[in-house]
Amino acid sequence: MTVMSDTVLAPSASVSGAILSLQRIPASRARGPRTVAVRLADSDGQRSLASILVNRMYSWRGYGADHQLFYDQHRVTFTAWSDDTVIGTLSLGVDGEDGLAADETFKDELDEFRRRPGSKLCELTKFACDPSTKSQAALAALFHVIFIYGTQRFSCTDLFIEVHPRHVRFYEALLGFKKVGAPRLNPDVAWWPADVPVQLMWLKVSEIRRFIDQHAGQTATRGRSLYPHFFPPKEEEGIWSRIAALGTDSNRPCIRRGTQAAPEAQAIAA
């Protein structure tokens, strides 16, 4: 994975949105080399394009086709682009007065984490990826940028995601998420099928830091983990600097490369 110089990190005339990473992905059997950019969806136009992808991918699974992505101080959306096309999107929600989206189904579980001293909860929502264009490198770039943003801007300590039970192994293998409790039904969530349970999963942010330090840049490693495809140290530092340059709240405490994780953290790259 190669990250290009900061001098080319300016949005094209046809696409807005602050570019946080830019990389050249080598050719594969399916297609030739391409450039993938991860952008902050910092405009209504960017979020509208991300919503289109979310609705396209969710509708054929029966998850509704009227999802809208909004910005507020506790929710930020990111997009992955190949040329002038959105190929992936993921939103970061941070705990605040209104709580998290996962509170609709798992408030009791989340409150247990909130009671821990120094905790700051966050969640991943509205993940969509075009299956015709996805790659491990593109997915890793999207998740890595969000990790950096969440730690630098919000000092997040605990990351959550709600998934279909059949996707549990995917998140365990790719990023090291762990199940919290048992799957639950919640008919009050309008867009989710009433007869399909959802599983809450959790990942300690300090463990993400440890996995990155151990495995980032080791793309020759076999396995499903995304961490070998995360950015190596030099490229990661460039992303930290670009996010800090965005302005507001850029000087919050953060977990940087080399910070020790909890002792029970285990590498999952194999």
Per-residue pLDDT of the chain (270 residues; tens, 9 = 90+): 333 323 233 344 345 678 899 887 765 656 667 788 999 998 888 899 999 898 888 887 777 777 888 778 899 999 999 878 899 999 999 999 999 999 999 999 999 999 999 999 999 999 998 887 768 888 999 999 999 999 999 999 999 999 999 999 999 999 999 999 999 987 777 667 778 899 999 999 999 999 999 999 888 777 889 999 999 999 999 999 999 998 654 333 333 444 333 322 222 233
- Work out whether strand 158-163 and strand 121-129 pair parallel, antiparallel, or are unpaired: parallel
DSSP per-residue letters across 165-231: GGGHHHHHHHH--EEEEEEE--TTSTTS-TTS-EEEEEEEHHHHHHHHHHHTT-TT--SS-SGGGSP
Which CATH fold topology does 2-244 show? Aminopeptidase (3.40.630)
Contact 91, 75 (CB under 8 A): yes
- Of 219, 204, 196, nearest to 140 by C-alpha is 219
pTM of the predicted model as reported, rounded to 2 decimal places: 0.82
